[in-house]
């Protein structure tokens, strides 16, 4: 295989190989012992998340608690272990909502029952109330607004700060063909329920499809269905990095994989369905 001399082909090859590795591990688990419940989850963490996520984040499993509300037991919790504690309970790990950036549900196989389980868990995560205090990013934004107001001789009346909720994602290793074939058939459900009960991004690994919610604050938000084949994992990874960076502050600027997957980003959705966003919601640009 020829290389273009740049980083994009190498990066794409890396994630394509990771996808094949994850699928092969899934096949091995099913063949050796169909009853190995949860094996795909540990492999997904070991082979994928722990290798590609920035070291400031840790990966665990347990329940997320806020001032009001809590999650159901989460398969995968990505949290900031450098700045927050977690509490080891007898039957599960306790994560403070303020420390959690993304919660992922990982399913070995698609079914409507598993999809409804994902929706219920997503809704529980999104209902959590965080103990919000202004971050450095908020303070800098306020300073910029103050300077802009001074330039035009106006007094800054204030700013409405809408923090991001905890990010949500889901992975289905196998299946989902019928669900993904004609998204327009479930347009009504998407329109009504996507904001609260659909994950921000969902990966159908074997099918090579990524489903993500898009909201740039300017046009109507929509759920996009992207058929990306062997490049579905890198697109999902990039979406995770976006969800993480939106909920954290970096002294070195935000890093995404955009520049290393331009050929993938040129692929538009094969279906898109608009949905009703909540009145007060931060902008969301997953892809």
Task: Residue 272: name the closest of 178, 190, 206, 169 by CA.
Answer: 190
Q: What is the predicted pLDDT for the residue at 6? A: 74
What is the model's pTM? 0.86
Q: Output the tens digit of pLDDT for each of the chain's 287 residues.
A: 444 557 899 999 999 999 998 888 776 655 555 545 565 666 677 778 988 998 889 999 899 999 889 999 998 999 999 989 999 887 789 999 999 999 999 998 999 999 999 999 999 999 998 876 666 666 777 777 778 778 888 777 666 666 788 999 999 999 999 999 989 888 888 888 899 999 999 999 999 999 999 987 778 899 999 999 999 999 999 999 999 988 876 656 667 899 999 999 999 999 999 998 775 666 444 45
Question: b/e string for 10-45 if b means 16 or more Cβ within 10 A?
Answer: ebbeebbebbeebeebbeebbeeeeeeeebbbbbbb
Task: Residue 176: name the closest of 137, 206, 146 by CA.
Answer: 206
7 vs 23: CA distance, rounded Å: 25
């Amino acid at each position: 295989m020829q290389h273009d001399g740049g980083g994009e082909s190498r990066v794409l090859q890396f994630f394509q190989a990771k996808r094949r590795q994850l699928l092969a591990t899934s096949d091995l688990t099913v063949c050796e012992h169909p009853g190995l419940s949860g094996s795909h989850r540990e492999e997904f963490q070991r082979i994928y998340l722990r290798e590609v996520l920035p070291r400031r984040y840790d990966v665990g499993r347990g329940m997320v608690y806020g001032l009001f509300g809590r999650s159901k037991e989460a398969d995968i919790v990505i949290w900031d272990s450098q700045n927050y504690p977690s509490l080891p309970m007898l039957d599960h790990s306790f994560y403070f909502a303020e420390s959690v950036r993304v919660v992922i549900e990982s399913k070995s196989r698609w079914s409507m029952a598993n999809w409804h389980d994902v929706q219920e868990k997503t809704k529980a995560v999104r209902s959590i109330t965080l103990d919000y205090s202004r971050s450095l990013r908020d303070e800098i934004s306020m300073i910029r607004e103050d300077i802009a107001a001074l330039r035009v001789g106006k007094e800054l009346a204030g700013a409405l700060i809408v923090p991001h909720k905890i990010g949500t994602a889901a992975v289905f290793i196998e299946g989902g063909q019928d669900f993904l074939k004609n998204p327009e058939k479930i347009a009504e459900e998407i329109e009504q329920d996507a904001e609260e009960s659909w994950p921000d991004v969902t990966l159908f690994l074997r099918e090579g499809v990524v489903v993500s919610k898009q909201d740039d604050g300017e046009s109507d938000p929509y759920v996009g269905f992207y058929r990306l084949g062997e490049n579905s994992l890198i697109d999902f990874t990039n979406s995770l990095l976006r969800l993480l960076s939106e909920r954290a502050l970096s002294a070195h600027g935000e890093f995404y994989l955009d520049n290393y997957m331009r050929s993938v980003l040129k692929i538009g959705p094969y279906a898109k369905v608009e949905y009703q966003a909540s009145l007060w919601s931060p902008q969301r640009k997953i892809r």
